[in-house]
Amino acid sequence: MARYGMALDYKSCINCKACEVACKEENGILMGADKHRIWVGNGEIEGQYPLLDITSNAFYPSQCQHCDEAPCEEVCPTHATYYTEDGIVRVDPEKCILCSYCMNACPYDARYVDDRTVTVDKCTFCADTRLARGETTTACQNTCPTKVRIFGDLDDPNSEISEVLRTREHFSLKANLGTKPKLFYLT
């Protein structure tokens, strides 16, 4: 089986938010600022004019990190949150009781409540839509004009993501928490 992950060449991000729109469109996410699976974090410019630090004004596209040691999975009282064979962290709405413990436990603020199912929802790497149709890219990746995102199989040594992780330095968010995220930020 594959073990899916994503690399983000975040310095190429122009904050056009096409990824946010594509995600909502592809996966039928409800409107509303709180209802999002992915987002672009925006660092503020630091310093005082004219001595501005423009490097602080970077854009950090983000979403569920699909951790190998996901705190949300560990705290779920009914196993509604589970790992698929592809290493994707998913929520089974049938089992979710909306105790919101996973929302509190996720260090990345990657979860929200879907008002239709009244259960917790999150990024699925488009497993129910694009991957189910046999496509090999996610909606956010496919729409990105500057090709920030590289999605693929981490266990396949010939995949683009494996290649880029071998050849470029990268970091993970909040790696000190031991969650082993599968989102990698390329430097």
Partner 1 sequence: MKIGPLNIPIKEDFSIKSLLNFEKTPANMLIAVLTLSFLAMFVVGIATYLIHGHHAYNVTREHPWGLLIAVYIFFVVSSTGFCIVGSLGDVFGFKDYMMISKRAIFGSIVTILAGFAVIAFEIGHPVTMLIYNVLSPGLTSAIWWMGTLYGVYLTFMIIEFYFLLNNDMKKAKIFGLSGLLVGLAAHSNLGSVFGFLNARPISNGVFYPTYFILTAFITGIFLSFIVMGFRYKLDFNAQTKKMLEGLAKIQGLLISILIFFVTWKMLTDIYGGMPNRAEVAEHIFHSWTFWAEVILAMAIPLVVILTTMGKKPVLMFWVSLSGMVGVFFMRYNLVHDTQLKPLQMLKTTEYQLAPEWIHYFPSTTEMFISLGGLGLCIAMYYVGTKVFNLDEEHH
Q: Given the rule CB under 8 A, which residues bind partner 1?
A: 15, 17, 33-34, 36, 39-44, 60, 62, 71, 74-80, 94-101, 103-109, 111-113, 115, 118-119, 177-179
CB nearer to partner 1: give 35 or 164.
Answer: 35
CB closer to partner 1, 18 vs 75: 75
Q: How far apart are CA 119 and CA 151, in angstroms?
A: 27
Say if strands 4-8 and 183-186 run parallel, antiparallel, or are unpaired.
Answer: parallel
Q: Residue 175: exposed, middle, or buried by beta-carbon count in 10 A (0-12, 13-18, 19+)?
A: exposed
CB of 81 to partner 1, least distance (A): 8
CB-based contacts of 61, cutoff 8 Å, min separation 6: 8, 10, 13, 19, 38, 39, 40, 41, 140, 148, 149
- Of 37 and 130, CB closest to partner 1: 37
Q: Which residues contact 47 (CB under 8 A, 6 or more apart)?
A: 53, 56
CB atoms within 10 A of CB 41: 13
Amino acid at 83: Y
Contact assessment for residue 170 and residue 186, using Cβ atoms and an 8 Å cutoff:
yes
Q: Which is nearer to partner 1, 106 or 150 (CB)?
A: 106
State the nearest-atom distance from the C-beta of 36 to partner 1, in Å.
8
Q: Which is nearer to partner 1, 43 or 145 (CB)?
A: 43
Cβ-based nearer residue to partner 1, 11 or 17: 17
**Taking the complex as a whole, how short is the minimal distance between the CB of residue 135 and partner 1, in angstroms?**
27
Least spacing, CB of residue 85 vs partner 1, in Å: 18
Nearest distance, CB of residue 78 and partner 1, angstroms:
4
Residue indicated by tokens 């996720």: 106
CB of 39 to partner 1, least distance (A): 4
